[in-house]
Amino acid sequence: MAASTCRRIPCKITELRLDKALVCGQSFRWKERTPGVWTGVLAGYMWNLWQSDTELFYQVLPSPEHPHGTITADNHINIAIKTEPVQICENTETVRQEEFVKQHTSKGSKMRTFSTKKGRKGVKVIDKQSEQVSTPTLDCQHVDVKVSKPKIEHKYEDMKVHSPTLDCKHECLKLELDQMETSETSAKHEEILRDYFRLDVNLTDLYTAWSLSDPVFKRTAIDFTGIRILRQDPVENLFSFICSSNNHISRISGMVERLCQTYGTKVTEYKGESYFNFPSVESLSGPGVEDRLRSLGFGYRAKYISVTAKYIQANHSEEWLRGLRNKPYTQTKSELVKLCGVGAKVADCVCLMSMDKLEAVPVDTHVWQIAARDYMPKLKQAKSLTDKLYGEIGDHFRELWGDKAGWAHTVLFAADLKKFKNKPDTKEIDVETSPNKSQAKGYKRSKSSVTGGGKRAKQWT
């Protein structure tokens, strides 16, 4: 199957930061497989997401049941990424993509291959008649191409990327596929993303309101714009957070992935790796699930998952769970805490991240410490987080931030994660630029705490 067309949604980076919203402890299924490109499974499709300062780009790889606009591991787009310094020419002119294509089809052009001593291969793009080197600056729908007057051979190194849109900062060469999505399919995909990221909500307005009422938030938000509450599927959100009990982010992600591989349906294969949907409640309620999950390293959480799935399957349904979105916050939470392995904290996570209860404020030891440090000094005298204190902390934030208090609290939670503290101020960094090796290594090594202390990773648990 051919690759789906690269699509884009107008979305300023201040309204959404993929590199923060996808990894701040809400979802455990998004991976940065390529620098700046996030890959994950959502609504039965596999997605590649990336962004510029003003737009969100996406490409979709659906399951066999949805064959339109898909790509597989066999359909690589071979691109060339510049690896050597290039002379900057003062005399340049900008032409549109149509003119660029016309130039090279009428005059003729060629792509010279080369090999390095290390065995790497690449291409040089040379205009045969004018002997100009053409270096496109890429974009999804059109390309502005800078054509340098002097003869300079720009060397590029081959790299396989499943995306027709490349990093503009690296001046990459785009090789487009002809496969086009239907307008209906494209509209459906865009609707899924808009719903998932809640793009109908103006985040700048929310940040402004929270900053006016809270100087602590105002100071923090300067470096943490674009953090959105993901609108996740309740089934995935619930069972993922059952896995989060006394756990850290990397281990939770591994558990969720094994859960999908074992009981989920396959979506597609990409770069030799299979991707799966999150399991249904029915599949998790079958015989032998607890024993199987224990063998996969879930520990006591295996029982929680099995018992909860059986309870929902026997007494309710997945639709009942999703239907809790339509109930008031307190009623939804009271239903969730009846489930095995779900306490007040996990229930609030599910309420906030999949039940549309944006006033829900999950409170763990880490959030308790934030509240004591910056908002409620009396909490420093408390020896433990009691139910009474839990309620007081949530009520304080709801009074301070309003009916979307859980969203504002998530911004502060993310800002306090070590993984983000170890990074430079990304406001000054082009998100399309690949991180250097030291940044990449630091990102992989950094961990955050679940309970706010010790070696545990910060996480909604």
408 vs 400: CA distance, rounded Å? 10
**87 phi, psi to nearest 5 deg:** -60, 135
Report yes or no: 419 and 23 within 8 Å, Cβ to Cβ: yes
Please indicate whether residue 345 is annotated as part of the active site. yes
Calculate the alpha carbon distances from 270 to 17, 75, 76, 90, 327 in Å: 24, 9, 9, 42, 39
Structure tokens at 303: 């029982």
Pair type for strands 144-148 and 134-137:
antiparallel
Active-site pick, 82, 345, 419, 458:
345
Calculate the alpha carbon distances from 417 to 1, 41, 98, 329, 447 in Å: 41, 25, 46, 27, 8
**Dihedral of alpha carbons 159, 163, 167, 170, sign:** positive
Structure tokens at 34: 């390529």
**Cα within 13 Å of Cα(125), Cβ side:** 23
Structure tokens at 47: 């997605």
Neighbours of 177 (CB within 10 A): 14
Structure tokens at 380: 């420093």
360 vs 345: CA distance, rounded Å? 10
292 vs 272: CA distance, rounded Å? 25
**Dihedral of alpha carbons 399, 405, 408, 413, sign:** positive
Q: Please, what is the Cα angle at 408 between 188 and 190, to 5 degrees?
A: 10
SS3 percent helix, strand, coil of the chain, rounded to 5, is 40, 20, 40
Active site residues: 345
